[in-house]
């Protein structure tokens, strides 16, 4: 019995039993939760991509599917890692709320949480950062040791390893790479704006010293 010894985790056991023997071929095809080879330490790696969900996807059913996939890791000594792709690419997808994520995490057996070696959140939004701050009193210290906020897919090597072609082998939808480029463009524009502002203010300050157009408050305007 896969649930032997896990009786104290009633919510987990109930959700797991409800998912046994069900047809998840549609979710498998969507790729919203899937095994994707190994992490950099050789442990099984799973990708969770809420952006692949349909607008009417049943989140409780998706959770049952995920628990079936992760069942082997609910026992001690079976480590794994997760790469969570923050959905910034598909506004039509079913949105996964903060409470749902927290509720799911709480129901997991202690062994499954301990077996989680690394959790990478790709393209974390300010909302995600704020949510983690709010939830921090309820999360174990060990959780923060496992958490990696991955600003760009190219920085995921801390989790997936840096072997050539490894990132491409994950078969992440192209929309996430497009979002990477969008973020790079925004960062470049912000940096240019900061440089321009610094040059402008620097020039204005120098003008005041060298007798240029700048004037002290209350003084007569330059002629």
171-181 tens-digit pLDDT? 999 999 999 99
Residue for token digits 């704006």? 193
For a pLDDT cut of 90, what percent of the chain falls above it? 64
Cα distances from 31 to residues 49, 126, 164, 213, in angstroms, run 7, 26, 23, 62
In this prediction, residue 107 has a pLDDT band, given cuts at 50, 70 and 90, of very high
Backbone angles phi, psi at 44, to 5 degrees: -55, 140
Q: Is the pLDDT confidence value at 222 over 50? A: no
Work out the pLDDT band at 198, boundaries 50, 70, 90.
low
Return the closest-CA partner of residue 13 out of 108, 96, 102, 147.
108
Residue 216 pLDDT exceeds 50: no
Per-residue model confidence (pLDDT) at position 201:
60
**pLDDT tens digits, 127-143:** 888 888 888 888 888 99
Task: Return the number of other C-beta atoms located less than 10 Å from residue 40's C-beta.
Answer: 18
Reduced to 3 states, what is the DSSP secondary structure of residue 203? helix
**Who contacts 135 (Cβ-Cβ below 8 Å, separation ≥6)?**
98, 102
Q: Percent of the chain, pLDDT > 70?
A: 88
Mean pLDDT of 169-196: 87
Residue 202, pLDDT score: 61
Nearest to 95 by CA among 151, 57, 149, 128: 57
């Amino acid at each position: 019995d896969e649930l032997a010894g896990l009786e104290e985790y009633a919510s987990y056991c109930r959700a797991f039993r409800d998912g046994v023997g069900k047809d998840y071929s549609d979710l498998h095809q969507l790729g919203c939760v899937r095994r994707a080879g190994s992490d950099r330490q050789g442990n099984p790696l799973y990708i969770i991509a809420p952006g692949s969900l349909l607008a009417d996807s049943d989140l409780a059913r998706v959770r049952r599917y995920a628990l079936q996939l992760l069942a082997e890791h609910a026992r001690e000594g079976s480590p794994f890692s997760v790469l969570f792709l923050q959905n910034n690419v598909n506004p039509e997808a079913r949105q996964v709320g903060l409470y749902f994520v927290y509720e799911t995490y709480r129901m997991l057996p202690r062994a499954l949480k301990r077996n989680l070696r690394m959790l990478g959140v790709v393209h974390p939004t300010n909302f995600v950062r704020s949510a983690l701050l709010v939830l921090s009193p309820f999360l174990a210290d060990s959780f923060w040791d496992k958490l990696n906020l991955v600003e760009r897919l190219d920085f995921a090597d801390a989790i997936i390893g840096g072997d050539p072609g490894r990132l491409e082998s994950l078969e992440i939808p192209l929309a996430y790479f497009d979002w990477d480029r969008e973020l790079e463009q925004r960062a470049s524009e912000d940096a240019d704006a900061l440089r321009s502002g610094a040059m402008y203010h620097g020039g204005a300050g120098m003008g005041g010293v060298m007798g240029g157009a700048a004037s002290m408050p209350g003084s007569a305007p330059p002629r």
